[in-house]
Amino acid sequence: MKKKHFSVLVILLLLTGCSNQLNDFNWKFWEYFMDEETTEEIVEEVPENEEPVEEEKPDENSETEAPPETDENQFILDEPFFTVLNEEKVIENTDNILVLVNKNQSLPADYVPKDLTIPEVPFSFEGDFDKKYLREEAARALEDLFAAAETENVEIFAVSGYRSYETQYGIYNTYLKKWGEEKTNAVSAIPGHSEHQTGLAMDISSRSAGLDLTEEFGETPEGKWVKERASEHGFIIRYPHDGEVITGYQYEPWHLRYVGKEVAAYMDEHDLTLEEFFDRAIKQ
């Protein structure tokens, strides 16, 4: 059958001459007479495969895609450091050094830290009062902070540390009678909700701020030094400027809270409140 077709092709070529117009036509005939294997090879060279074009698309788009998620914004934290609450939002693991006390969750009324001690630092008052005390770990860290300040000729004073539930009850109700509920709640904690009851918070001041607990302290050289250096010794400014929406309290440049060096450094680096820190903390 192929021989017959070949004869027809030869006749056709003789009749038409090998004009350029028929080259394409002739080639298709030669393809027909070739072995199947060879034909297939040619066919394989011809296919209009668009896949390579599609493969390039992801490369072009990759530049506009969001960067892959990293763990940079997370802090891996051991489970015991997370605050555990009962149904009334009262804290159960009260001795946790990272305990989160705020307007939403409180310490039990009868909670008194077992390891309270007086740090060896200058106080703004004389005498043995509860407010001189801090928990052991926080007291040692405060001594380190004050020693560092002294080395750099920065004179600061401890003003108010541990505060019992009963004392906070008295303070809160005094403010309440004087200022009413709204103003009182912006500056003073409802009993059980004060961080001072943890024994991990110390209010500090300087002569330049009249040894008072006022916003002015944040503008003094001493207040600025503390803001800059507190985290190196494990403390944070617990109620930062413009943090009221998150913490529920106005700016308190004098209120230091002990959280340990690692957490303090992370919070300082990322400019976080303690509430925001726990939003990022991942249980390990």
Given the complex with Zn ion, which of 135 and 255 has the nearer CB atom? 255
133 binds Zn ion per the rule CB under 5 A: no
- We find the least distance from the C-beta atom of residue 177 to Zn ion, in angstroms, to be 21
Site map (CB under 5 A) of Zn ion, residues 214-253, x = contact: ----------------------------------------
Selected catalytic residue, list 252, 262, 269, 275: 252
Using the rule CB under 5 A, which residue among 135, 233, 255, 257 binds Zn ion? Answer: 255
81 — phi, psi (to 5°)?
A: -85, -10
Cα torsion 154, 159, 164, 170: sign: negative
Distance in Å from the first CA to the final CA of the chain: 80
- We find the least distance from the C-beta atom of residue 75 to Zn ion, in angstroms, to be 25
Residue 166 bears catalytic tag: no
Given the complex with Zn ion, which of 252 and 268 has the nearer CB atom? 252
SS3 category, 175: helix
- We find the least distance from the C-beta atom of residue 68 to Zn ion, in angstroms, to be 42
Given the complex with Zn ion, which of 75 and 132 has the nearer CB atom? 132
Q: Which residues contact 115 (CB under 8 A, 6 or more apart)?
A: 135, 136, 137, 199
- We find the least distance from the C-beta atom of residue 131 to Zn ion, in angstroms, to be 10
Instruction: Give DSSP secondary structure letters for 68-116.
Output: PP-STT-EEE-GGGS--B-TTSBBS-TT-TT---BTTBB--TT---TTE
CA neighbours closer than 13 Å in the CB half-sphere of residue 37: 0
Asked if 156 and 189 touch (Cβ cutoff 8 Å), the reply is no
Given the complex with Zn ion, which of 202 and 281 has the nearer CB atom? 202
189 binds Zn ion per the rule CB under 5 A: no
E-strand stretches of the chain: 75-77, 116-117, 134-135, 157-160, 201-205, 235-239, 252-258, 281-283
203 binds Zn ion per the rule CB under 5 A: yes
Question: Per CB under 5 A, which region of 65-73, 113-121, 196-204, 263-271 contacts Zn ion?
Answer: 196-204
- CB-based closest residue to Zn ion: 255
Binding site for Zn ion (CB under 5 A): 203, 255
| Catalytic residue positions, numbered | 252
